[in-house]
């Protein structure tokens, strides 16, 4: 399909919705996943510390007589923070914990279908194996009666699970594998203005010939779009000089670089879009017929 031969990123994957449209999502890398996790763990630890202090304060006020009630709160609260934090946040329509939200990540079903509650439970139940087991292994330091080799074996064994996301293409962790989910980029993108709207002069002033418009392809068009959007005077001057050289067009005496670029952008886009409609997508300037 001609639509799909544009520049593809290494982390881009096909996600076919039930409507049959390929959304081409970007999967989250291990680094982003880790930073999202760190934010969540940081928040959990912070809440735990605040909770502990509050309970201690309450106990102090009550003179440590009704300690049992506070212990129940601490135990259950700790359990909920450890297990329910991720599940509760991922069950919301946004399907992301605060850490994921902050890094622009969301959980989605890998097959393009509906994300089920069972999937959320499964992917977070596995966290026990991937996060807490290795942590207790490393922090526990073996304990009494466990010799060095056994300890080493335990750590390596746990590390296999913890480092799982590094060794597969979509950076799935075991929870994702077992739940059929993945974590994708879905930051909010705002709609930027169409650069054609900016046209200050009549493009008809420049009657570009077909040969002049065939000098570039889609890739260059998009670069030009970015240049116009940034509107840096120096860059625009350099780009305008390059283009004029390439298409053999001399600058008029009072011609502004910006007007020239905008006119060329509009004309080039028109030409490329027309050809695209006829089934020919010129990828870049090296793409000859």
**Positions 28 through 67 that interact with other proteins (CB under 8 A):** none
Beta carbon nearer to other proteins, 35 or 83: 83
Q: How far is the CB of 250 from other proteins (least distance, A)?
A: 23
The region of 30-38, 147-155, 238-246, 272-280 touching other proteins under the rule CB under 8 A is: 272-280
The region of 55-63, 230-238, 248-256, 273-281 touching other proteins under the rule CB under 8 A is: 273-281
Q: How far is the CB of 211 from other proteins (least distance, A)?
A: 19
Q: How far is the CB of 246 from other proteins (least distance, A)?
A: 19
Binders of other proteins among residues 118 to 157 (CB under 8 A) are 118-123, 125-130, 133
Q: Is 179 left (phi over 0), alpha (psi -120 to 50) or beta?
A: alpha
Q: How far is the CB of 202 from other proteins (least distance, A)?
A: 7
Binders of other proteins among residues 170 to 229 (CB under 8 A) are 174, 177-180, 184, 186-197, 202-204, 218, 221-222, 225-226, 229
Binders of other proteins among residues 239 to 268 (CB under 8 A) are 266
DSSP state string for the chain: -GGGGS---TTEE--B-TTS-B--EEBPPHHHHHHHHHHHHHHHHHHHHHHHHHHHHHHHHTTTSSHHHHHHHHHHHHHHHHHHHHHHHHTSTT---HHHHHTTEEEEETTSSPPPHHHHHHHHHTHIIIIIHHHHHHHHTT-TT--HHHHHHHHHHHHHHHTGGGGSTT---HHHHHHTEEEEE------PPPGGGG--S-GGGS---HHHHTT--HHHHHHHHHHHHHT-HHHHHHHHHHHHHHHT-PPPTT--HHHHHHHHHHHHHHHHHHHHHTT----STT---
Beta carbon nearer to other proteins, 102 or 133: 133
Give how many residues touch other proteins by CB under 8 A. Answer: 85
Q: How far is the CB of 8 from other proteins (least distance, A)?
A: 13
Beta carbon nearer to other proteins, 43 or 267: 267
- Using CB under 8 A as the binding rule, whether residue 278 contacts other proteins is answered as no
Q: How far is the CB of 48 from other proteins (least distance, A)?
A: 14
Beta carbon nearer to other proteins, 108 or 236: 108
Sign of CA dihedral 139, 141, 142, 147: positive
Beta carbon nearer to other proteins, 141 or 253: 141
């Amino acid at each position: 399909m001609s639509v799909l031969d544009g520049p593809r990123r290494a982390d881009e994957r096909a996600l076919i919705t039930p409507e049959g449209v390929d959304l081409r999502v970007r999967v989250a890398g291990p680094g982003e996943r880790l930073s999202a996790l760190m934010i969540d763990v940081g928040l959990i630890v912070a809440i735990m510390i605040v909770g502990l202090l509050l309970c201690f304060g309450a106990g102090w006020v009550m003179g440590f007589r009704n300690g049992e009630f506070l212990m129940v709160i601490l135990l259950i609260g700790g359990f909920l923070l450890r297990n329910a934090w991720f599940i509760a946040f991922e069950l919301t329509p946004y399907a992301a914990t605060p850490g994921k939200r902050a890094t622009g990540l969301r959980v989605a079903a890998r097959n393009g279908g509906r994300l089920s509650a069972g999937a959320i439970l499964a992917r977070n139940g596995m966290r026990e194996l991937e996060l807490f087991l290795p942590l207790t292994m490393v922090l526990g330091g073996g304990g009494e009666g466990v010799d060095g080799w056994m300890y080493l074996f335990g750590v390596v064994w746990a590390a296999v699970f913890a480092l799982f996301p590094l060794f597969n293409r979509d950076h799935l962790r075991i929870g994702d594998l077992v739940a059929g989910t993945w974590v994708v980029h879905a930051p909010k993108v705002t709609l930027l203005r169409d650069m054609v709207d900016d046209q200050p002069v009549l493009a008809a002033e420049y009657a570009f010939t077909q040969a002049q418009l065939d000098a570039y392809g889609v890739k260059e068009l998009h670069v030009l779009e970015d240049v116009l959007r940034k509107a840096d005077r120096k860059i625009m001057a350099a780009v305008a000089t390059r283009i004029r050289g390439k298409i053999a067009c001399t600058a008029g005496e009072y011609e502004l670089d910006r007007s020239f670029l905008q006119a060329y952008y509009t004309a080039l886009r028109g030409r490329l879009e027309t050809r695209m409609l006829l089934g020919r997508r010129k990828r870049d300037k090296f793409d000859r017929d």
